[in-house]
Structure 1
Amino acid sequence: MKPDDPLLRILACPLDKEPLHLLPPAGERDDDEDGALYNPRLRRRYPIIDGVPQLLPSSGEQIPEDEHTELLKRMTP
């Protein structure tokens, strides 16, 4: 998923129904990871697998405080 993808405008967190932020893949290698969508309000990260956002409440991962700070730096507006 690219930062300019129009789909990003309509995707929302399944829990609070608010917008999500794109987290680009970590590191140099894009083939290992598709990135993720992040809800900084609830500190939940939803994976993107094979270009498809996994937005079921059960697929979200709760993020600890220290990792949350690092993810805020990676967020794409």
Structure 2
Amino acid sequence: MNPDDALLRLLACPLDKGPLVRPAGLDVLYNPRLQLSYPIVDGIPQLLPASGSKVSADDHERYLRTTTG
């Protein structure tokens, strides 16, 4: 999944149904509202609620600075 992929605009967080962003250089989709990251494995986003990982405040700031999409 490329950061410019049109699919990224269609994907939503399974918990709050809001949009996700892709931090540059990372294989994750990120929900900044809940501070959850979802892995992308072999190009496939893992968007099950249990797949979300809480990120630290430092990672949250870093993800927002490097966000694409």
Shared fold (TM-score, shorter chain, > 0.5) = yes
What is the aligned length? 69
Written as runs of structure 1 = structure 2, the 5 A alignment for 1:1-77 is 1-26=1-26, 35-77=27-69
Q: Whose strand fraction is larger, Structure 1's or Structure 2's?
A: 2
User: Partner of 1:31 in structure 2?
Assistant: none
Q: Which runs of 5+ in 2 are unaligned?
A: none
Structure with more contact order per residue of length (Cα contacts < 8 Å, sep ≥ 6): 2
Structure 1 vs Structure 2 CA RMSD: 1.1
Native 8 Å contact 1:24 1:36 kept in 2:
no
Q: Which runs of 5+ in 1 are unaligned?
A: 27-34
Provide the TM-score with structure 1 as the length reference.
0.82
Overall identity of the aligned pairs, in %? 55
Structure 1 segments of 4+ aligned residues over 6 angstroms from their partners: none
